[in-house]
Amino acid sequence: MNYFKTALLLAALTGFVLVAGYLLGGQSGLVIALVAALGMNLFAYWNSDKMVLRMANAQEVGPGDASEFYGIVQELAGRAGLPMPRVYIIDEEQPNAFATGRNPENAAVAATTGLLRHLSREEIAGVMAHELSHVRHRDTLIMTIAATLAGAIGMLASFGGLMGGGRDSEGRPLVNPIVAIAAMFLAPMAAMLVQMAISRGREYEADRAGAEICGQPQWLAAALAKLHAGTQQIPNRAAEANPATAHMYIANPLAAVGGMASLFSTHPPMEERIARLEAMAGEMGGGYRATARPNTNPWTTAVPQAPRRGPWG
């Protein structure tokens, strides 16, 4: 999805917020919706990285805290022509990662302890190259704004539920009950559909660009296979508490929840992503030599990491 389509999508979502506000509260509701939409967009622009990192309980690390991981990000950032982002680790067993920040100069990348524990150095490089491609294309800002607008729509839906029972001085309902009920059900669904549309197209592009940054599409393909298996078995507590951020992760962190959540996945099918990367590897003529893991179930047993040479020599 190109930037023009994304801009139209976000404009449509903002318009939906305003219309919903008007239907739920008349002119007062329109004003509230306008203030909420503008305020949350401005807040997200300046504080998107802090918001998401705080929600994920991420802790910043430096070269002295996680030298191998930090070194991988540093080398990839150089290959991508990007400033060095801030690096964070999330204490979650589910293997996953995301990037955030309003621009490359204020970007941050984060990976879970599960990802660092169970993926090889090459696979970690593939994942972080994917995240840095989001930074280079400024996807992180748009994805965070989508999350905050989704929150605004959820707030308006709650507002509609509260207003639905109110009456004016003549005993008439302040809001048409049918409109209020429809907004309560349709508004969150509309926000989720927008997140899906934004995230799915950008994930394919980030996979392609990330493979180009690290030079080995199979590194990312192998990592995605492991991430898919891990997210199916291990819940992500932080993402479950803040589901509006799910589309920012490289793999759907809510996959282990199941139920209705699986019907509104913000990510494209993992099988299709892996197939595209494997086709890209075939075109590039690249091979993949992953570091072997001695354990048969990587999601139950931690494997100590031995020092390894960098993936580029």
Report the pLDDT value the prediction gives residue 191, as an integer from 0 to 100.
59
Tokens standing for residue 74: 């540093």
For 135-149, write each residue's pLDDT tens digit. Answer: 998 887 777 666 666
Residues pairing with 185 in the sheet: none
Residue 262, Cβ neighbours under 10 Å: how many?
11
The answer to pTM > 0.85 is no
For 149-186, write each residue's pLDDT tens digit. Answer: 665 566 655 655 544 444 445 554 455 566 556 656 66
Domain residue spans of the chain: 3-284
Q: Which range has highest mean pLDDT (32-36, 160-164, 295-299)?
A: 32-36
Task: Please name the helix (run of DSSP H) or strand (run of DSSP E) that holds residue 109, with its range, or none.
Answer: strand 108-112
Residue 183 φ/ψ, nearest 5 degrees = -65, -40
Report the pLDDT value the prediction gives residue 311, as an integer from 0 to 100.
44
One of 75, 131, 205, 240 is an active-site residue; which one? 131
Tell me how far apart the alpha carbons of residues 84 and 128 are, in angstroms, rounded to a whole number. Answer: 12
Query: Which amino acid does the sequence have at 11?
Result: A
CB-based burial, 193-229: b 16+ in 10 Å, e otherwise: ebbbbbbbbbbeebbbbbbbbbebbbbbbbbbebbbb
Nearest to 100 by CA among 113, 86, 90, 114: 86
Tell me how far apart the alpha carbons of residues 276 and 282 are, in angstroms, rounded to a whole number. Answer: 10
- What residue ranges in 144-302 does DSSP mark as E strands? none
- Write down the mean pLDDT value for the chain: 77
Tell me how far apart the alpha carbons of residues 109 and 144 are, in angstroms, rounded to a whole number. Answer: 14
Instruction: Note if 93 is an active site residue.
Output: no
For 198-222, write each residue's pLDDT tens digit. Answer: 667 789 999 999 999 999 999 999 9
